[in-house]
Amino acid sequence: MDIEAVIISLLREHHEVISGEELSREFNISRVAIWKHIENLRQIGYKIEAEAHRGYRFISAPDRVLAMEIRYGLKTRFIGHDIRAYEEVSSTNDIALDLARREAKEGTVVIAESQSSGRGRMGRSWFSPFGKGLWASIIFYPELLPNQLGRMNLVFGVALAEAIKKETSLPVELKWPNDVMVSGKKAGGILIEMSAEMDQVKYLVVGLGLNVNVPLSDFPKHLRESASSLSQEKGNSIDRLSLIREILRQIENYYLFFKEKGITPIREKWLVLSKTLGHYLKVELPARTIYGQAVDVDEEGALLLRTEHGLQERITAGDIYFIS
Ligand code: BTN
């Protein structure tokens, strides 16, 4: 851990003032060097009070997705042990895909305050304004056949929904394949990308986009009807740091649970969270639009639709709209 992360965690846990002298003894560096580190921390946005002749006192941490902030109090076995945090990137998925190609550790997290070319599913762009959302990607090396990728949609969808519910108490639902919905509006989504050979997934990047504290008026006009944010639905702003820690925790839990127990119990949870079954849907496929009733979501994450012509279609990619 770098020295500034240790200084800040010491100050944070020590509710009283810590003197410069004590810190300089602890780290075996001069008091001037300590003061320089404190100044650096202040530059990043930490509020640290200096009391004359007494020392330093922690006041607050910045609302920034800094690696050391996310790691603070994160009790995971492997996810987030390596966190790459940026102010702005093109897309966190691009960076994570590149890291995975170079065999970065499983569980490596890439996170940014904003993305200039955030990607959504079906070739759409993903609105990723600075400092108001969680735009993050995580690397996995699962033992999976390429055609089993849909399972991971179920695993990570459930994990994300459970984490948001736990942190915000909002009535989160999942909309197939994996939109995070609150009161019928989209507040987040998941984009899973992979590299695979014929019979084995080589690596997988799970991209999470969550509109946390985005005011409705910030959304581009074409999204204002259909999109929302957690703060908008909750009526107050939400602590992004404690939310991302909980998301990483739940993602690890469900990933390990999936490895141990398989997809069956996770699909059950997904079905409870999604409330998709039974509804009449308009389904936009990459090349056509069909209508029908959702009869099931199978263990590969595919949607089974009984069409208006009485046929059953198995859909692996598309967008759904509820008709009734
Ligand atoms: C969707 O279309 O619903 C999926 C949206 C996924 C967006 C996230 S933001 C972090 C990661 N980086 C990207 O470019 N996209 C994903």
What is the distance in A from the centroid of ligand 1 to the CA of 19?
Answer: 45
Contact 62, 84 (CB under 8 A): no
What's the 208 CA to ligand 1 centre distance in angstroms? 5
- Cα angle 96-101-107, degrees, rounded to a multiple of 5: 50
Quote the CA–CA distance of 227 and 216 in Å, as a whole number: 8
Average pLDDT, whole number, for the chain? 96
pLDDT above 90 covers a percentage of the chain that reads: 94
Report pTM.
0.95
The answer, yes or no, to whether residue 170 has pLDDT greater than 90, is: yes
The average pLDDT across 255-270 equals 97
Q: What percent of the chain has pLDDT over 70?
A: 100
Q: How is residue 50 written in tokens?
A: 């200096």
Ligand 1 centre to CA of 136 (Å) is: 8
196-211: average pLDDT: 96
- Return the number of other C-beta atoms located less than 10 Å from residue 130's C-beta: 12
Measured in Å, residue 125 CA sits from the centre of ligand 1 at: 8
Rounded distance from Cα 194 to ligand 1 centre (Å): 14
Are 317 and 288 a contacting pair, CB within 8 Å?
A: no
User: Mean per-residue pLDDT for 169-180?
Assistant: 96
- Looking from the CA of residue 133, the nearest atom of ligand 1 is 9
Distance 35 CA to ligand 1 centre (A): 40
Rounded (10°) angle between helices 31-44 and 3-13: 90
> Which residue has the CA at smallest separation from atom 15 of ligand 1?
119
Mutate to test the pocket of ligand 1, among 84, 119, 121 (most ligand atoms within 8 A of CB): 119
pLDDT at 1 exceeding the cut of 80 = no
Note the pLDDT tens digit of each residue in 214-233.
999 999 999 999 999 999 99
pLDDT at res. 15: 79
How far apart are alpha carbons 69 and 155 in whole angstroms?
26
Please give the structure tokens belonging to residue 24.
């300089």
Cβ contact 61:69 at 8 Å: yes
**Separation between Cα atoms, residue 92 and residue 207, nearest integer Å:** 7
Q: Above 90 in pLDDT, residue 16?
A: no
pLDDT at residue 206, rounded to an integer:
98
Mean pLDDT of 90-112: 98
What's the pLDDT at 272? Answer: 95
CB atoms within 10 A of CB 254: 21
Q: How confident is the model at residue 2 (pLDDT cuts 50, 70, 90)?
A: confident
* Residue bearing the bigger pLDDT, 16 or 33: 33
Q: What is the mean pLDDT of residues 72-101?
A: 97
Q: What is the rounded end-to-end Cα distance, in angstroms, of the chain? A: 53
Is the backbone peptide bond immediately before 177 cis, with ω within 30 degrees of 0?
yes
DSSP 78-147: STTSSEEEEEEES-HHHHHHHHHHTTPPTT-EEEEEEESS-B-GGG-B----TTSEEEEEEEE-----GG
Helices 31-44 and 20-27, axial angle in degrees (round to 10):
100
The pLDDT of 159-167, averaged and rounded, is 98
Kindly give the number of the ligand 1 atom that is closest to the alpha carbon of 179: 3
321 C-alpha to ligand 1 centroid (Å): 20
Closest Cα to atom 16 of ligand 1: 207
Question: Are 207 and 110 contacting, i.e. CB atoms less than 8 angstroms apart?
Answer: no
Alpha carbon separation from 151 to 52, 115, 236 (Å, rounded) = 58, 27, 34
- For ligand 1, what atom is nearest to the CA of residue 115? 14
Q: What are phi and psi of 213, to 5 degrees?
A: -115, 35
Give the pLDDT confidence of 276-287 residue by residue, as tens digits.
899 999 999 989
Q: What integer is the mean pLDDT of 4-33?
A: 92
pLDDT at residue 14 tops 90: no
pLDDT digits (tens, 9 = 90+) for 43-61: 999 999 999 889 999 999 9
Give nearest CA residue, ligand 1 atom 10.
135
**Is 171 in contact with 183 (CB distance < 8 Å)?**
yes
90-103 b/e (C-beta count within 10 Å ≥ 16 → b): ebbbbbbbebbeee
Q: Of 313, 306, 301, 312, nearest to 178 (Cα)?
A: 301
Select from 160, 208, 319 the residue to mutate for testing ligand 1; criterion: most ligand atoms less than 8 Å from CB. Answer: 208
The confidence score (pLDDT) of residue 25 equals 94
How large is the average pLDDT for residues 129-136? 98
> Which parts of the chain are beta strand (E)?
47-51, 55-60, 83-89, 109-115, 133-140, 172-175, 179-182, 185-197, 200-211, 280-284, 289-297, 303-307, 312-315, 319-322
pLDDT at 276 (0 to 100): 87
Ligand 1: residues within 6 Å at CB? 91-93, 115, 118-121, 124, 126, 128, 135-137, 179, 189-191, 207-209
Res 198: pLDDT: 87
